[in-house]
Every structure is written in C-alpha cells, then in structure tokens.
Structure 1
Amino acid sequence: MTESRAKAETSGSGYVTKGQGYDRDTTYITERITSSGEGANEWPVQPGRYRLIAARACPWANRAIIVRRLLGLEPVISLGMPGPTHDARSWTFDLDPGGVDPVLGYERLQQAYFARFHDYPRGITVPAMVDVPTGAVVTNDFAQMTLDFSTEWKQYHREGAPDLFPEHLRGEMEPVMKRIYTEINNGVYRCGFAGSQDAYDAAYERLFTALDWVDERLRTQRYLMGDSITEADVRLFTTLVRFDPVYHGHFKCNRQKLSEFGALWGYARDLFQTPGFGDTVDFVQIKRHYYIVHADVNPSQIVPQGPDLANWLSEHHREELGGRPFGAGTAPGPVAAGEEVPLGHGA
C-alpha cells in the first residue's frame, strides 16, 4: 500500500486516494442461498446448515441481525458475533469464551474466508454466511443477503412475520433503497474518509440533501414506503442509530444532529422502540468500533463518553400517523437466549 492510498475498513472496505474521495470496494462474494439451490452459484436453503457472522458494531451486519429477528429465522440460522474491534487481518471472536466461535471453532472470521478462497485478497467483511459443515464462507453480499432472508427462506419465517419486501412495492422500493445506500449509508463514510476539503464538502452536501429528502418524505407517512415497515426502513435505521454517537462528530457530519431533525428523529425513535430494532443495538460496541479501529481519523483512540442516549426512549408520537408496523403480521417475541444486548449497552 502506497503512502497516497490508505485502506479504511469497517464492515466493508474501501480506499481513500490522497486529495480525492472515498471509494467503497463493492466487490462481494455474490453466491446466494436459495430455496431451490439449483442455479449457478446457488446453495440450498437448509435449516441449521448456515451461520450468520455479524458484528453488532457494523451497520451492514446490524441490518442482517434485524431482518433475521423480524422474520423469526433464529431457529434455522445461527448467529456468531465478533467483538467490536478488529485488526488489519480480520474480525475476531474475542467475545466468546477462549476467543473462539463455539460453532465454527475459529478465532478469526478470516479462517472461514480462507477455507473457501486461499489468500482471499479483499476485505474480510461482515455480515457473512458460513457453511457450518465445511467452515467455508458462502457469501458476504450484504444487500442481497437480507432480501434472500425475506424471499428464499420464506417457508421458515415465524408465524406473523412481516413482509419486508412486498412484491407490489418493489418497483418503488428499489430506487429509494439505492438512494439511501449511495447518499446516506455510504454518504457518511464519504464524509469521514474524504481525502481533501473539496471531496469532504461535496460529500457533506450530498449527505444532508438526502437526509432532508427522507425527512420530508416522512412528514406525512409513518414509514418510508407507507404504513408498514419494509427492508427500506431497516437499511436507513442502521445509519440513523449511529448518527449522533459516531457520524456527527467522528465523521464530521455535523450540520445538525439527528435529534435536531423533525420527522426523521421521531421516525428513528419509533423504529428503535419497535421490537427487532433497538433490541439489536449495542451503543458501547458501536462507539468502540469506530473510535478505536479508525485510528487514522481518531489517532488517540479515545472513545467519547457521550452523547446521552436516554432520549431514544422518549415519546415520538409517530403512531398519530396511523399504520401498522408489521402490516398484517405481529411483533417478534423476546430476543433469543444468548443474543441479548448486554445490560447498559443500549439506550
């Protein structure tokens, strides 16, 4: 790696070229787990065969954890959770006894990638689906992964699971989700890892233009696609919940805090207080990840004490807009044993 290029990794990876902007590496392992498992580069849906590796700190992995919980896939897809920090090599299972994932027997997620691809050359990213019998990674394509949870694993959804990717809305959802990804999910990273003032200024304008757009969209409807939660809401939420604790200061996204928006702040609290969302969020791990791992942005690696997060539990009044969070379905039950957010790590 040359001096003019620095690698910035969180759940995904990308590069900052000196004097320019941040480019995310979007080359993933695009194989899929499908109900038939018969197509090229497809693996068959089988209960108990796959393990989702997803760090709570990571927004892309948090997305997979939320969708798995909302759909009730815990009994058929196990969950392995690395700790909030990693080194240049890989995410590590330092939260597990002995620092070893109890199912895979690995100390590092890197081992699952190498079990499939010797000397895998790209970032070792979460979320990742791992084939338990072979210990080999199947896919790390986070965007497709959650859509497949909704469509390909449908026969294993819990009774009352919501339809997060309704067929009649897909044509409208896809451009909304694309804009959320390019301008907001990835937009905060373009600000935080900008390689020049001009690159930062452009990223900042793009980010807040998009945040103003969703704020306006949410003034008259409870969720992004109307009256019920969809995949689009999950994708936006994981960035919003990290905004004030991390992105506002650490990534210089500081025109205003999330808590200073109108509709967007109420919307974020509404989701946070909905089963399946806030009960997957670990603010301690989130802050430790960003402030410790990104030593180029935060050389001291000091993790800030604030902000006060109790306001996430304040009244939001979004129910006045009507709607049913789970559509014709129901809320998920209690968090699965062993998957609870540690006491004191939430709002």
Structure 2
Amino acid sequence: MYEQQPDGCRMSRNSDYGKRQFKRSPSHFTDRITRDGRDGWPVEPGRYRLVVSRACPWASRALVSRRLLGLEDALPVAVADPVQDDRSWRFTLDPGGKDPVLGIRYLFEAYDARETDYPGGVSVPAVVDVPTGKLVTNDYLRITLDLATEWRELHRPGAPDLYPEALRAEIDAVMDDIYRDLNNGVYRAGFATGQQEYEEAYTDVFRRLDAVTERLRDQRYLVGDTVTEADIRLFTTLVRFDAVYHGHFKCNRYKIAENEVLWGYLRDLYQTPGFGDTVDFDHIKRHYYTVHTGINPTGIVPAGPDLSGLTTPHHRERLGGRPFGDGIPPGPPPAGERIAPDGTAPARP
C-alpha cells in the first residue's frame, strides 16, 4: 500500500514523505459517472457522496466546481480530518468518528468494499456509491470535468460553463502545462530526496509561474473571458503557495504576494463566490506541517503568513471579462459547509 506516492491526495506513511523519490501514479479506479451510465454509474441526485479533504488541492478542485455549478444538494460532501494516520483519511470530524451517511470510520473501507485487498493508496477526492458503500472513482483529473459536462442537467440556473467545448483544446493544453510543472511540481520539489531532483522541480515551478504571469498580465482569466476548469486548477495551488509551498516545500524564489500579476489574479478568484469560500487555511496548514513528518519532524505549524491581503481590492475587472459570463454567482454555501470569515476554520451551523 505504501509503495506508491499520491495520485490525488493519496495516503502514504507520514514518515515516508521526503524519504522516497516522488512519483505520482495514475488513478486506479477510473469509472465515470455519466448521463448514460455506461460504466454502470448513472448521474442520479443524492446517490453519491463526494469525500474530500479541505487540505488537499486535488480535492479542493471538486469543492470549487461543485459550488460554482450548484451541485451541493445533488452531490453531498463528506469532509475528512486534515490530519490522517497511516491507515487512511478518517472521519474524526463527525460525531462518533463515523461518516453519518456511509457509516465508516476510514475512507479505505469504501475502497475495500469495491476491491478487497486493494494494493494502492487511499486518495481524495473520492466518490462513493451510497447504496452499496463502494468507491466509484478516485480519478481526480476526470471528476471535475464530468461534473462540468455529464452533470449538466443538475446544474443551478446561471451556472458557468467551466469546460466550454469551443475552448477545450486550449484549456487542456494550459492545464497540462500547469499540472506538470506547478500542481505536481511543488510536490516534486517538496518530496525531493536529493539536491538535483529538488532544483529541477524548483526550476519547473518558477518557469511555469513566470509563464502564467505573462499570460495573465493582460487578460483576466487563463482561457477566454470567464472562469474555466483551468482557473480552478491553478487557483488551488496558488492559494496554498505562500502558506505551505514557499516554506514547507522550499519553493522560495518568491511568494505569490510578491508577484503583482499573480497576487491580483489570486485575490480576484479568492473573492469570487465559489472559490475563497471553500478554502480552509487551518486544515491546509495542519495537514501539510503535521502529516509530513519526514519533512517537518517537529510537527510545528507556522503561525503565519498573514493572509488578510487576499480580501483587498484587486482591480482585475479593468481587464474585462466576467467570472460567470451571462450567468450569476452561486448563493451562500450550505450552513454545514461555511468557512469562517477569516478562512481558518469551518463555521458551525
């Protein structure tokens, strides 16, 4: 179970991080939930449960997409404790330490229900079939694309088109570059076991940040004039950068707050309904600094940085574009999913 590194946010022994060469493996369970149910899993409101950690950038993509598209009722969410143990993501945030719908203490139980003695890691995001308790998919690259396309009939009125057909080739190309050098690159740097390995990853990270900076200098969004899947995938890495990747993963050429273009872009998205209201910095920081004991053996969680600047004016609207196009923003998050105004803890309903 512990030989493979994360594909989404995948479990490994906490002490192993930083001691084994980092290699992101492909998702093992790649069934899709589709309108026609061709893989045996048709789109049905309320049938599935999305299991996430708010700490995980890969799972956070699904949270942002779900909010923007208004799928909260159609696809209920289970939030795992950001500090997992060597067994799996766990549901210790819920009364009795069990997910109230699935009735399980650890996410690996849903994996075992699907495939006994599954040899890989247990990752989020994961979608579980509630009637059977079986894992459906942990394909973090596909889940959000299907939410944008296959779940369209359940989208809220005024929801944005996050994966417009006419722009898909460009979106895919942009996302591939960002994934390789940045989304995955920060992990390659942080979990590097040698100087050369680290410096190669570090170079990739900042080369891509520089390229994205130039792309966003004169346009508000990565592709087109509305938010798309590409922006979601960049956002979940950028919003963690200063709090985690700059120090913990040694990606310290500069902070996002020191890059005028990226800092404005990040603030723009953070203040857009559906983005910042899914971000929990308490979960993020406690997960990375507590779980990765191979990198941070003391388990001390930094008090900083000061992230209050995320809510200051960004002025990116001068570049044109509208986040939702002809649509409208989502309403407030459901009471049980609201994040406190300071972005550091879930507010209680």
TM-score range, shorter chain: over 0.9
Aligned partners of 2:207 and 2:45: how far apart in 1?
43
Instruction: Give the superposed CA RMSD.
Output: 2.1
Distance 1:345 1:222, change over 3 A: closer
Does the 8 Å contact 1:19/1:196 carry over to 2?
no
* Matching residue of 1:140: 138
Mapping of 1:73-222 within 5 angstroms? 73-222=71-220
Distance 1:21 1:310, change over 3 A: same
**CA offset at residue 14 of structure 1?**
7.7
Aligned partners of 2:18 and 2:90: how far apart in 1?
30
Partner amino acid, structure 1, of 2:92 = D
Aligned partners of 2:312 and 2:173: how far apart in 1?
32
**CA offset at residue 10 of structure 1?**
7.3
Aligned partners of 1:25 and 1:12: how far apart in 2?
10
Does the 8 Å contact 1:12/1:25 carry over to 2?
no
Give the stretch that moved more between structures: 239-248 or 42-51.
Answer: 42-51
Number of aligned residues: 343
Mapping of 1:230-245 within 5 angstroms? 230-245=228-243
Percentage identity across paired residues of the two chains = 58
**CA offset at residue 57 of structure 1?**
0.6
CA deviation string 1:95-139 (max 9, x = no partner): 111111111111111111111111121110000000000011000
Distance 1:221 1:343, change over 3 A: closer
* Matching residue of 2:63: 65
**CA offset at residue 171 of structure 1?**
1.0
Give the stretch that moved more between structures: 82-91 or 155-164.
Answer: 82-91
CA deviation string 1:4-45 (max 9, x = no partner): x895787136898999852112233110000000x3x34111
User: Is there any run of 5+ residues in structure 1 with no aligned partner, and where?
Assistant: none
CA deviation string 1:135-165 (max 9, x = no partner): 1100000110000001100000000000000
* Matching residue of 1:34: 34
CA deviation string 1:149-185 (max 9, x = no partner): 0110000000000000000000111111111111110
Aligned partners of 2:331 and 2:59: how far apart in 1?
21
TM-score scaled by length of structure 1: 0.94
Partner amino acid, structure 1, of 2:158 = G
CA deviation string 1:26-82 (max 9, x = no partner): 233110000000x3x341111110000011010000000000010001111111001
Distance 1:6 1:141, change over 3 A: closer
CA deviation string 1:197-253 (max 9, x = no partner): 000111111110000000110001000003110000000000000000000000000
Partner amino acid, structure 2, of 1:167 = E
SS in 2 for 1:44: coil
Partner amino acid, structure 2, of 1:166 = P
* Matching residue of 1:334: 332
